[in-house]
């Protein structure tokens, strides 16, 4: 069965960086795009971007351009999302979420069929 298991909660100071991991199992990691979505406390969902685990290609939301870096390690089926120059309003639960599009056959579908459990990132001085 498809599983996305994320790294544990983080506490960071303003200006620091955070790197969240997402380990995939139960499917071919390089066969499906991976998105990152965040949710501030009591707020809605916000899309951050995606990575093509096969090529390493990325597409970031305009809001996060210059601050976010998505990478992957295919040898351990793990995707990473690093956010730099953290601010207090970056406090949120960060989710990885799989796109159902088969990378070989179709383009990104921009919806999410499997989600990680979420990683709480708290930014506080």
Partner 1 sequence: QSALTQPPSASGSPGQSVTISCTGTSSDVGGYNYVSWYQQHPGKAPKLMIYEVSKRPSGVPDRFSGSKSGNTASLTVSGLQAEDEADYYCSSYAGSFVVFGGGTKLTVL
Compute how many residues bind partner 1; rule: CB under 8 A: 22
CB atoms within 10 A of CB 41: 9
Q: Which two tokens stand for residue 19?
A: 């790197």
What's the alpha-carbon Rg for the chain, to the nearest Å? 14
- Tell me: does residue 28 bind partner 1 (CB under 8 A): no
Query: Distance between CA atoms of 74 and 31, rounded to whole angstroms?
Result: 11
- Tell me: does residue 46 bind partner 1 (CB under 8 A): yes
93 CA to centre of own chain: 11
Query: Distance between CA atoms of 125 and 117, rounded to whole angstroms?
Result: 26
Min separation Cβ 13 and partner 1, Å = 26
Min separation Cβ 125 and partner 1, Å = 26
Query: What track of x and - describes contact with partner 1 for positions 94 through 123 (by CB under 8 A)?
Result: -x-x--x--------xxxxx-xxxx-----
Give contact residues for partner 1 (rule: CB under 8 A): 35, 37, 44-47, 59, 61-63, 95, 97, 100, 109-113, 115-118
């Amino acid at each position: 069965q498809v599983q996305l298991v994320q790294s544990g909660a983080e506490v960071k100071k303003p200006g620091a960086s955070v790197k969240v991991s997402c380990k995939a199992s139960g499917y071919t990691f390089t066969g499906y795009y991976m998105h990152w979505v965040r949710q501030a406390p009591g707020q809605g969902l916000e899309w951050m971007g995606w990575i093509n685990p096969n090529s390493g290609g990325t597409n970031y939301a305009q809001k996060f351009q210059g601050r976010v870096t998505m990478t992957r390690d295919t040898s351990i089926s793990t995707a990473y999302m690093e956010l730099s120059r953290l601010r207090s309003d970056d406090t949120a639960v960060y989710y990885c979420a799989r796109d159902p599009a088969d990378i070989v056959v179709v383009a990104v579908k921009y919806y999410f069929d499997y989600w990680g459990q979420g990683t709480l990132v708290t930014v506080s001085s």
